[in-house]
């Protein structure tokens, strides 16, 4: 696994959430890129900062009405496409 900055982890997670929305699927897809502890912590942080919202018990969404998705850096594009 590559070491990513906190901001890079958040961006990766937000783009995977945009792609899948089901929390279990998001975590499953991200396990190949990030440790599960980092995934859970980052999702909790994104929810706490209102960048992501939980809709029901299993669905999470980017809160695009509250904040815009960050721009996807070139070094992360291939990772998102692989997931």
Q: What is the CATH number of the domain that holds 66?
A: 1.10.10
**Average pLDDT over all residues of the chain:** 93
- pLDDT-derived band at 1 (thresholds 50, 70, 90) equals low
Q: 13, 46 in Cβ contact below 8 A?
A: yes
pTM comes to 0.90
pLDDT of 63 = 92
Domain that holds residue 78: 6-82
The predicted-structure confidence for 54-72, as pLDDT tens digits, reads as follows: 998 899 999 988 888 999 9
Does residue 38 belong to any structural domain of this protein? yes
Note whether residue 37 is domain-resident. Answer: yes
Q: How many Cα atoms within 13 Å fall on the side-chain side of residue 81?
A: 7
Residue 21 φ then ψ, to 5° = 65, -35
Number of domains in the chain: 1
Q: What is the pLDDT of residues 5-25, one digit of tens each?
A: 999 999 999 999 999 999 999
Q: What is the rounded CA–CA span in Å between residue 51 and residue 35?
A: 21
1 located within any domain: no
């Amino acid at each position: 696994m590559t070491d990513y900055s906190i901001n890079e982890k958040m961006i990766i997670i937000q783009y995977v959430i945009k792609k899948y929305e089901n929390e279990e699927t998001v975590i499953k897809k991200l396990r190949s890129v990030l440790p599960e502890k980092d995934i859970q912590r980052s999702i909790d942080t994104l929810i706490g900062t209102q960048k992501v919202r939980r809709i029901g018990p299993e669905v999470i969404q980017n809160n695009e009405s509250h904040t815009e998705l960050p721009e996807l850096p070139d070094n992360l594009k291939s990772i998102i496409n692989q997931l």
